[in-house]
A = this chain, B = another copy of it.
Amino acid sequence: MAKTKKKESQWETATNEKLAEAGFRRGGARAAVVSLLDEQSCALSAYEIEELLAARERAVGRASIYRILEQLDELGVVSKVELGQAQARYEPIRPDHHHHHLVCDKCGAVIAFDDAPLERAVDSISKRVDFAVEGHEIVLHGLCADCR
Please give the residue numbers on chain A whose beta carbons come within 8 Å of chain B beta carbons, in ascending order. 80-84, 86, 88, 102, 104-105, 111, 113, 115, 117-118, 120-122, 124-126, 129-145, 148
Contacts and interface: CB of A to CB of B under 8 A. Distances in A.
Given A121-B117, A121-B121, A141 B145 contact: no
B129 A137 contact: no
A132 B118 contact: no
Given A115-B125, A124-B117, A132 B137 contact: no
A76 to B, nearest CB: 12
Nearest to A115: B125
Contacts of A135: 140-142
A118 B83 CA distance: 19
Nearest to A145: B130
Given A84-B80, A84-B82, A113 B134 contact: no
Contact of A140 (B80, B105, B133): B133
A122 B129 contact: no
B138 A142 contact: no
